[in-house]
Structure 1
Amino acid sequence: MNTRVAVIGGTGKTGRAVAAALSARGAEAVPLGRAAWIDLAGALAGCHAAYVIAPNMHPDEAAYVEQATGAALRAGVSRVVLHSVASPYAPAMPHHVGKAQAEDVVRRSGLTWSILQPGAYVQNFAPGQTLRLPYRADAPFGFADLDDVGEVAARVLLEDGHEGASYELASFRSTVGDLARALGSTVTEVRPLAWAAGEGKGLEPRVRDWLLAMFAYYDRHGLPVGTVPMRVLLGRAPRALVGP
């Protein structure tokens, strides 16, 4: 019988990448979307492990993860892996702090746990587009490729030896400007308030404010992430900074 692994929040791009990597390793991925929360413990029944992905900019990620881990305990799931973010405790970015609080929930859950902390996704930047960037284009980043993240997630979910580990993940180091050039895109730097009045105008005010805080942090510090953990966990070279 194939090992069954639940992917909570598994209908988005991250969940699909994790599910594909699990299937490639012969496991049965069980994507669980919003409807599964009606009886999450029932949906998790028979699963060996669970990968937990909170919705983007969730207002209370710790509560979300607490519900997920509680359901996993009731269902008899033996292992949970949390999808977090690189540099989770960055007080200037509220959504990062939410992930730090969620990590604390997992560590105290009573489950066997691991935590993945990827950098910004390469896939957030579409090839051949004009990108309006509300922070400096030369800020340093560690970018994570979704396929690389999915492959690491599958390994950590299915293999022993990762219990109690937290892994920051980046496929390569770059700036947004260099990444855009590699993808055949162009970058136009804009003031954050111009972004808020344009692309951010229709967002919920809380989400818009959190994003503005993130842009201010990126402008000052970027989001550097080392590449060694990704390389070691993959057992191969991660994606490089190349064109599409």
Structure 2
Amino acid sequence: MTRIAVLGGHGKTGRAVCAALTQRSAQEVPLGRADWADLPGALAGCDAAYLIAPNLHPDEPEYVADALIALAEAGVGRVVYHSVASPYVPAMPHHLGKAVSEDLVRRSGLVWTVLQPGAYLQNLDLSGPVVRVPYDVDAPFGLLDLADLGAAAARVLTEDGHAGATYELASRQTTVRELAAEAGLTAERVEDPGEHPWLSAMFAYYDRHGLPVGTQPLAGLLR
């Protein structure tokens, strides 16, 4: 049975990937912060790894570099890196961290694939009656369902033909207003809560440009 490590496997992204790996009869090995004390040991016997950095990590390139070293030491020759759609956006610092990390992955000497997911559908509260977001509700987005992400990641991890590929991932193209209307709800832009400066920068970018992502790469992976 193929054995696949999921670094960051206990978060919502990691759980979606692990669930999809199980459906493909692969053995998932979810790893978290406690495993970093001996990451090469935790990775022993794995055939591949899905690499997710903690959300808003203050130094994602360092985190990714350490993970890549551990993968090489453990003899795991294949890595799929969880990046983001439009990684090189100077206005969004955490996107830039992923752009630098992508470069590290590509130069790691491992067999690599990069996934660039759009914003998650599950990040929107559709419980009603009003969907509130701190950016323009008419901004264009390529939104990604977590189940689709998991299915795409599992396929890339368990099948040949994806080495050296970079895939943008979105389940659908829409706006928050359109998505709310489909659920019989209204949408409203609210003030940025200011919880983190990187999030504020992201919301300001979304307000001006949204985050468009094409749907065809995901459709191809899920065929």
Q: Please name the residue that 2:131 is paired with.
A: 131
Equivalent AA in structure 1 for residue 139 of structure 2: A
Question: In the alignment, is the contact (CA less than 8 A) between 1:128 and 1:183 conserved in 2?
Answer: no
Deviations 1:106-149 (A, max 9, x none): 01111000000010001111322333321110000000111111
> Which one is further off, 160-169 or 120-129?
120-129
Unpaired stretches in structure 1, ≥5 consecutive residues = 201-207, 236-244
Q: Please name the residue that 1:84 is paired with.
A: 83
Identical aligned pairs, as a percentage?
64
Q: Please name the residue that 2:202 is paired with.
A: 214
Question: In the alignment, is the contact (CA less than 8 A) between 1:127 and 1:184 conserved in 2?
Answer: no
Deviations 1:205-241 (A, max 9, x none): xxx1111111111011100000000000100xxxxxx
The answer to whether residue 66 in structure 2 is matched with residue 67 in structure 1 is yes
Equivalent AA in structure 2 for residue 97 of structure 1: L
Q: TM-score, normalised by structure 2?
A: 0.97
> Which one is further off, 128-137 or 167-176?
128-137
Secondary structure of 2:29's aligned partner: strand
The answer to whether residue 157 in structure 2 is matched with residue 169 in structure 1 is no
Q: Distance in 2 between matches of 1:123 and 1:56?
A: 15
The answer to whether residue 58 in structure 2 is matched with residue 31 in structure 1 is no
Secondary structure of 1:149's aligned partner: helix
Equivalent AA in structure 1 for residue 61 of structure 2: A
Question: In the alignment, is the contact (CA less than 8 A) between 1:128 and 1:186 conserved in 2?
Answer: no
Q: Please name the residue that 1:46 is paired with.
A: 45
Deviations 1:22-65 (A, max 9, x none): 11001000000110100000000000000000011011100001
Equivalent AA in structure 1 for residue 116 of structure 2: Q
How many residue pairs were aligned?
Answer: 222
Equivalent AA in structure 1 for residue 135 of structure 2: Y
> Which one is further off, 173-182 or 163-172?
173-182
Q: Distance in 2 between matches of 1:25 and 1:34?
A: 26
Question: In the alignment, is the contact (CA less than 8 A) between 1:4 and 1:49 conserved in 2?
Answer: yes
Equivalent AA in structure 1 for residue 120 of structure 2: Y
Q: Distance in 1 between matches of 2:214 and 2:169?
A: 7
Equivalent AA in structure 1 for residue 109 of structure 2: G
- Structure 1 residue ranges (4+ consecutive) displaced by more than 2 angstroms after TM superposition: 129-132, 180-188
**CA distance 1:221–1:47, shift in 2 (3 Å):** same
Q: Please name the residue that 1:241 is paired with.
A: none
Equivalent AA in structure 2 for residue 222 of structure 1: G
Q: TM-score, normalised by structure 1?
A: 0.88
Equivalent AA in structure 1 for residue 172 of structure 2: F
